[in-house]
């Protein structure tokens, strides 16, 4: 009996060690495979482009970096965004968008809202607080806590933008030579509201200022671009849109069904954002709204964030390819309505990370854009919308 107990003890020890190894190494392995950068030689950056890039206010509407258990204050050897690499890339404003639910078998065509959720096992494996394991609201609140922790640890490098005053303070510090980045929080799909409008209070209090209505599945607010119904806004969705407008938050239509977008356009005049997408005339994929719908969104004074991954750029994801897509976007919606929306760290493979954005500036010059157009695309258009929509204080 003593020998049997000894063997059982050894088996238990091995199982415990295996679980610890899975929890320690597993999430990092998953992210390495999900958020990869294609190996490449350094991209050319002309002296003119480098000088121009150093004068730009660079802004990106979309990165999912808070989903992963990386210390964003340390320069990572994998993933696509962290604070050191943002600073290397000259980024002034980075939207940190949070994913709270992802359907099993996720795809761009059709996903069931009843599919099992990919984020639950990821949250458990990454040892997120137990309160996040079965609550989408708590997942959003926890990821906001993570960004606040980074800000508390390095207030000289990161400032969370909640108001226009915060934005102007950060920009003034940068003008005086302080190298820092402003982070703005967004939710990718409003399902963390859990069907309760009062939960928008908690989302707003946590610092969120950008609200995407849908992600990869139909939710309580309406149809997803990748859902099963193609429905427009529900009554609950209409009430949320009205609250977003009244609270001076920013509404993001990325992943919404075309009918949801049209319903939103019919009920509001505020500038609308498609945070991460491509342009249909450049890449005729379902993921990219039809050009006429993009033009209607631009007509609100809004912007379209250009993504850097294959499905929105039809595989042309090096700086020259993204620059070509941006040129087409300008031709389609106008130079005042095109922004950057990388989708970095959003389970996408890219050809460069955020530290390499000077190469995009160089590619835009090579593509024939002038300095004014480049400045608008790289960040001034984003800045205009933030100044218009954020609360004063």
Is residue 17 domain-resident? Answer: no
Label residue 104 by pLDDT band (50, 70, 90): very high
Identify whether the C-beta of residue 82 lies closer than 8 Å to the C-beta of residue 64: no
pTM recorded for the entire structure: 0.93
Q: Which domain does 205 fall in, by range?
A: 45-389
Is residue 28 domain-resident? Answer: no
| Total domains present in the chain | 1
CA torsion 110→115→121→124, rounded to 10°?
120
Is residue 176 domain-resident? Answer: yes
Q: Spell out the long-range contacts of 147-151 with Cβ–Cβ below 8 A and sequence spacing 24 or more.
A: 147/66, 147/96, 147/183, 147/185, 147/207, 148/207, 150/72, 150/73, 150/83, 151/183
Is residue 1 domain-resident? Answer: no
- Residue 52 belongs to domain with CATH number: 3.20.20.140
Closest CA to 57 of 213, 161, 187, 197: 161
Can you tell me the distance from the alpha carbon of 70 to that of 88, in angstroms, rounded to the nearest whole number?
18
Does residue 15 register a pLDDT over 70?
A: no
pLDDT in tens, 233-276: 999 999 999 999 999 999 999 999 999 999 999 999 999 999 99
Is residue 353 domain-resident? Answer: yes
Closest CA to 210 of 65, 68, 97, 100: 97
Can you tell me the distance from the alpha carbon of 62 to that of 307, in angstroms, rounded to the nearest whole number?
9
Can you tell me the distance from the alpha carbon of 384 to that of 168, in angstroms, rounded to the nearest whole number?
12
Compute the average pLDDT of residues 352-372: 99
Which helix H or strand E contains 235, and what residues bound it?
helix 235-246
Q: Could you identify the residue written with the tokens 């795809």?
A: 107
Q: What's the pLDDT at 18?
A: 40
Is residue 224 domain-resident? Answer: yes
Identify whether the C-beta of residue 234 lies closer than 8 Å to the C-beta of residue 259: no
Compute the average pLDDT of residues 138-160: 99
Can you tell me the distance from the alpha carbon of 329 to that of 316, in angstroms, rounded to the nearest whole number?
14
Label residue 1 by pLDDT band (50, 70, 90): low
Cα of 329 vs its chain's centroid, Å: 19
Q: Please tell me whether residue 247 adopts helix, strand or coil conformation.
A: coil
Does residue 84 register a pLDDT over 90?
A: yes
pLDDT in tens, 373-389: 999 999 999 999 999 99
Label residue 19 by pLDDT band (50, 70, 90): very low
Can you tell me the distance from the alpha carbon of 356 to that of 86, in angstroms, rounded to the nearest whole number?
9
pLDDT in tens, 293-329: 999 999 999 999 999 999 999 999 999 999 999 999 9
Cα of 298 vs its chain's centroid, Å: 19
């Amino acid at each position: 009996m003593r020998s049997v107990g000894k063997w059982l003890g050894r088996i238990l020890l091995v199982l415990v060690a295996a679980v610890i190894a899975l929890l320690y190494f597993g999430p990092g392995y998953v992210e390495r495979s999900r958020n990869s950068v294609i190996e490449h030689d350094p991209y050319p950056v002309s002296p003119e482009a480098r000088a121009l890039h150093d004068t730009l206010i660079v802004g990106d509407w979309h990165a999912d970096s808070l989903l992963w258990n990386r210390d964003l204050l340390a320069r990572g050897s994998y993933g696509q965004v962290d604070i050191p690499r943002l600073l290397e890339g000259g980024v002034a404003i980075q939207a940190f968008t949070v994913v709270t639910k992802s359907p099993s078998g996720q795809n761009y065509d059709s996903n069931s809202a009843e599919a099992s959720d990919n984020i639950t096992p990821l949250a458990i494996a990454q040892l997120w607080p137990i309160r996040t394991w079965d609550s989408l609201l708590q997942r959003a609140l926890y990821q906001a806590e993570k960004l606040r922790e980074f800000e508390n640890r390095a207030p000289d490098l990161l400032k969370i933008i909640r108001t226009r005053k915060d934005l102007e303070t950060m920009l003034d510090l940068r003008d005086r030579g302080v190298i820092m980045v402003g982070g703005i929080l967004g939710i990718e799909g409003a399902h963390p509201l859990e069907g309760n409008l009062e939960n928008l209070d908690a989302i707003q209090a946590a610092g969120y200022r950008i609200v995407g209505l849908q992600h990869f599945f139909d939710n309580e607010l309406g149809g997803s671009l990748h859902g099963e119904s193609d429905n427009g806004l529900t009554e609950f969705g209409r009430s949320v849109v009205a609250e977003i407008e009244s609270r001076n938050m920013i509404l993001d239509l990325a992943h919404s069904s075309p009918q949801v977008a049209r319903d939103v356009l019919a009920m509001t005049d505020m500038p609308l954002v498609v945070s991460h997408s491509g342009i249909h005339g450049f890449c005729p994929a379902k993921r990219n709204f039809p050009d006429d719908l993009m033009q209607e969104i631009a007509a609100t004074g809004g912007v379209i964030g250009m993504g850097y991954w294959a499905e929105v750029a039809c595989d042309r994801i090096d700086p020259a390819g993204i620059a070509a897509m941006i040129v087409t976007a300008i031709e389609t919606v106008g130079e005042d309505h095109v922004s950057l929306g990388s989708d970095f760290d959003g389970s996408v493979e890219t050809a460069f990370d955020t530290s390499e954005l000077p190469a995009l500036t160089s590619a835009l010059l090579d593509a024939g854009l002038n300095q004014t157009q480049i400045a608008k695309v790289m960040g001034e258009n984003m800045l205009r919308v933030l100044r218009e929509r954020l609360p004063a204080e």
